[in-house]
Amino acid sequence: MVSNDSLSRRLGGLYCLYCLYETQPFKPPFHIYISLGELKKLKKLVVEAKNKDIRVVPALVKRMLENKIFLFGSVDLNESSIPETVKQLTDLQNARVQVAYKKLFASTRIEHFIHMDLGAEVDLNVLKKMSTEYAEAKGQAIQEASEVVDVQNVKHIQDDQELMGDVVGKIAENWNVQKELFYQQTRMDQQPAAAEQTQLQVNDDEQGGDEDFGQELEQLLFQA
């Protein structure tokens, strides 16, 4: 029906497809999957049939559209190999995920936080210096107090505590690791190259054109 064979063969394929749909035993019936690329070829078939005054073809396709026989999709399963089909589906899913991420970032402050340098926010170097000085002062105070009083009950304060600066430093390192993992999963920190942006724009334009083919085909049929 949508191959490059002769007009008679393509018309035969269209009739066979319609008969298979009408005679199938399943209720509700299975729909006929047709990609946007195949929809273009179906439109071309209708135009050729009209030019040759084969009026039954526009009427048949019009009936198929009115009965919602077709299930429209964006992946051409008939002409693509399995790896290519999987790649198309993966790219489509990734594009949808990227759109979802952009919508999420547009409505929340998450982008501000994922680009935040935690070490700079808390001034980690100053905090480490202060915590070190505090630990030294605490140790010196306990040492001086031990000369006049029993400090056995408070000596553990000096021995078993990790410096606050070190704790925050580990948190900042873990924060950077988590940010990098998030970047790898979402790719939100990467800007596509100019060529890739051009290709994306071309793909968007083509997809927009494909979506109009259904309406164009219906208009063509109703003019028959």
Query: Hey, what amino acid is at 63?
Result: R
CA distances from 17 to 1, 2, 24, 60, 148 (A): 8, 11, 11, 11, 102
Q: For residue 157, what pLDDT is reported? A: 62
In the numeric block, which tokens belong to residue 59? 């009427």
Residue 32 pairs with which residues in a beta bridge?
Answer: 70
- In tens digits, the chain (224 residues) has pLDDT values of 556 778 888 889 889 989 999 999 888 888 888 887 788 888 889 999 989 989 898 899 889 988 888 888 766 665 556 677 677 777 877 777 777 777 766 666 666 666 666 667 667 777 778 877 777 777 777 667 766 666 666 666 666 567 777 787 888 788 778 777 777 776 655 444 444 444 444 455 445 555 555 566 566 555 54
Number of Cβ atoms within 10 Å of the Cβ of 64: 20
Q: Rg of the chain's alpha carbons, rounded to an integer? A: 34
DSSP code of 148? T
Tens digit of pLDDT for each residue in 158-206?
665 677 777 878 887 887 787 777 777 766 554 444 444 444 444 554 4
